[in-house]
Amino acid sequence: MKSGSNLERVILSGKPAVTAELGPPMSADGHEVTKKANILKGFCDAANITDCQTAVVRISSIAAAVLAHREGLEPVMQMTCRDRNRIGIQADLLGAAALGLKNCLCLAGDHQKFSAAGRLKGHPGAKNVYDVDTCQLVGILKKMRDEGKQEGGDPLEVAPKFFIGASWTPMGDPIDFRPMNLLKKVNAGADFIQTQGIYDIELFRSQMDKIRNMGLHERTAILGGIIVPKSAMMLKYMDSSVAGVSVPKALIDRMNKAKEAAGDDKKKARELQEAEGIKLTVELIHQVLETPGIRGVHIQAIEWETAIEGIVKDAGLYPRPIFETE
């Protein structure tokens, strides 16, 4: 075992892995983290603790990951290349390992101009770092873990043992390059991959055909990304505006139908769409897991953590496997 994390154990067991996501709050409210951790606990093998996603200041991923860990939820800490240089990154990785964290997802990070897609002020005038990129960051984690060396070459008496993750946008532009993008992350040392949200299953499967031809599915554990849709509007927005996400018209039509069935009753329209969203999510989970080469799912119920329990149960993925830790 590389890290001994629960996620690594589930993946090694050959059972489909389930990861979820926990977004820390935009304040010093640690209770928000522990509350969400208790909602997710038992329904996923590990949960991503986002690192200032959408370029908005929140409780740091490491701090929130430690809070979640104390509640019994295994965290996947995130490390973006946006905010720290290789000195800050490695110092934080050593600290995170010392605090007991075992999974780390490497990301480029949303650009500082993003500011929650303009809904918040954010810090668009901030200076970004990008001393290293995701591929290089994955390599740094691997070098620290497997060679016991810092990026600069200095030895680490105690190496941080992370299960190393990276993201992959299988259907992003330029689409012919995306398999090579994954190849580079795997060559750099990514043990597991979480993909961008998948709605267009046909297109996803055609990309996975290429991945299997390259043998990448055997060298890394690919978890297919599922973003739980809440409304027809959300699906339309993701289709038009979220990079690397395309939503087939049939899915948008289904959500629209659910909405229209409620007539003018707005509360009912919301409830019907949420129910349809969960149904749709469960179908997507099955389709993704049936795709050869896929080893699990990464389910994102953005600011809707309470949906995870029902989804995981409906998908037949409950209970989650439990392993004796040494």
- In the complex, which residues of this chain contact other proteins (CB under 8 A)? 81-82, 86, 108-111, 113-114, 128, 130-136, 139-140, 151, 167-169, 172-174, 176-177, 180-181, 183-184, 187-188, 196, 241-244
Q: Which is nearer to other proteins, 241 or 325 (CB)?
A: 241
Q: Which is nearer to other proteins, 1 or 243 (CB)?
A: 243
Specify the amino acid at residue 240. Answer: S
**Minimal distance, residue 299 CB to other proteins, in Å:** 18
Q: Which is nearer to other proteins, 6 or 167 (CB)?
A: 167
Q: Which is nearer to other proteins, 31 or 119 (CB)?
A: 119
**Minimal distance, residue 98 CB to other proteins, in Å:** 23
DSSP 241: H
- Count each helix (H run) and each strand (E run) in the chain, helices first: 12, 8
* Cα(325)–Cα(165) distance, integer angstroms: 21
Asked if the bond preceding 160 is cis, omega within 30° of 0, the reply is no
Q: Which is nearer to other proteins, 52 or 307 (CB)?
A: 52
**Minimal distance, residue 178 CB to other proteins, in Å:** 9
Q: Which is nearer to other proteins, 233 or 242 (CB)?
A: 242
**Residue partners of 166: CB distance under 8 A and separation at least 6:** 105, 106, 107, 134, 138, 185, 188, 190, 192, 193, 194
Residue 230 in contact with residue 277, Cβ under 8 Å?
yes
**Minimal distance, residue 281 CB to other proteins, in Å:** 21
Q: Which is nearer to other proteins, 8 or 110 (CB)?
A: 110
**Minimal distance, residue 66 CB to other proteins, in Å:** 27
Buried b (16+ CB within 10 A) or exposed e, 195-210: bbbbbbbeebbebbeb
- Tokens representing 120 are 């918040």
Q: Which is nearer to other proteins, 94 or 108 (CB)?
A: 108
DSSP string, 80-123: ESSS--HHHHHHHHHHHHHTT--EEEEE----TT-TGGGTS---
Q: Where do the H-state alpha helices sit in 113-248?
A: 134-142, 178-188, 201-213, 216-219, 232-241
CA 163 to chain centre: 14
**Minimal distance, residue 184 CB to other proteins, in Å:** 6
Look at the chain and count its residues.
326
- Tokens representing 105 are 């997802």
**Minimal distance, residue 163 CB to other proteins, in Å:** 20
**Minimal distance, residue 272 CB to other proteins, in Å:** 30
Task: Tell me which residue of 37, 10, 43, 19 sits closest to 308, measured CA to CA.
Answer: 43
